[in-house]
Amino acid sequence: MKKRYIIIPIVMLAMLAAFSVPVMAEPCGDVNCDGAISMSDARAIIRYDISSDWAADVNCDGAISMSDARAIIRYDLNCCICKVFAEWVNDYSALPNCDDLQYTDEDAEGFYYELDSDAYWDGYHIYGDDDAKERHWKDPNYGGSDIADNAEFAFFAGHGRPTSGGDLAAFIFGTEYDDHYLTCEDALWGNTKMNWIAIDSCEVLSHYELTAGCWAYNAFEGLHSICGWDTACNETTFRGRYFARYMDGTWDEKTIIEAWKQATKDSQGAGYYAAAMAARDWPSHSWDCWDDHLYSHGPSVEPPVNPTVAYDRWDCAP
């Protein structure tokens, strides 16, 4: 299929140079095929499509601004755009053994809209309370609709805990579509798009759960990593936003797991343990996906086929 390239007036070249990207599935505008949209690429595509002097002035204010540059990158280079998906639950009135929460909406929205503001990321869907459904996270092979797996990065904020039997971790929904609990046995992620997931819920990555191997055995079907909690955690209004800002260049361009580590330390405290899991190779045991960066903010690698899974937990003492 013929690729469509953005055509940029010469006054935008300096802006464009700031938006370098790593090698991705379809590196739009990368004329030299070197994994970056460079000055020479920009020169090669000037006025190829946008023939008028004013076409890049998205805001029609007589100037080609940074917001114009972002708008063009997002909508004309759309095959480079990655999607973010998020859900949150505050209302657990349908589950008498779950107290209502207060801040999961702000937590999830902070993550979602921070990434949505990045030039190379776009908001896919965000749902809350009764619109947040277990079936959105479940593969069609298990009877779900798999909406979450149609985004490269997914985020959930709400209750989590082991199920009544104590042997399966789950994150919990306030409405029964298809049920209240998304357990590790329901998870099959990455066989569509999902590369990374963060579950801001208590005990979803509890260490004894890893021993059973449930997340590792079931969830990693192209998935790169999971961020979550080994112990209980307190809800906050800002953890998701901090997490995104530590990845997307607003504050830093940390690896995804280092960004989660820093956000959990900023928001929690000593005695609480956050955790992460990442796909790695066998038999070399190199932590292939442990050092992934967010797309457009550093290198990342594709997970190995049939990976083993690395695990780490840390005390959230600052």
226-272: pLDDT as tens digits: 999 999 999 999 999 999 999 999 999 999 999 999 999 999 999 99
Model-wide pTM > 0.85: no
Alpha-carbon gap, residue 227 to 247, rounded angstroms: 14
- Which domains are delineated in the chain? 10-79 (no CATH), 82-315 (3.40.50)
Alpha-carbon gap, residue 85 to 111, rounded angstroms: 10
Residue 21 pLDDT greater than 60, yes or no: no
In contact, 17 and 39? CB cutoff 8 Å: yes
So what's the pLDDT on residue 217?
A: 87
> Order of strands, edge to edge, in the sheet holding 160-162?
160-162, 169-172, 181-183
So what's the pLDDT on residue 4?
A: 31
109-167: pLDDT as tens digits: 999 999 999 878 889 999 999 999 999 999 988 889 989 999 999 999 999 987 766 66
CA-based end-to-end distance of the chain: 51
Element (H, E) at 41: helix 39-45
Which of 63-77, 263-277, 293-307 has the highest average model confidence (pLDDT)? 263-277
Alpha-carbon gap, residue 136 to 156, rounded angstroms: 11
Structure-block tokens of residue 315: 């005390």
Element (H, E) at 43: helix 39-45
Give me the mean pLDDT over the 170-174 stretch.
94
* Residues facing residue 127 across a β-bridge: 87
Q: In 199-315, which residue ranges form alpha helices assigned H by DSSP?
A: 207-212, 214-218, 239-247, 256-267
Q: In 64-142, which residue ranges form alpha helices assigned H by DSSP?
A: 66-76, 104-116
DSSP strand pairing (181-183 vs 169-172): antiparallel
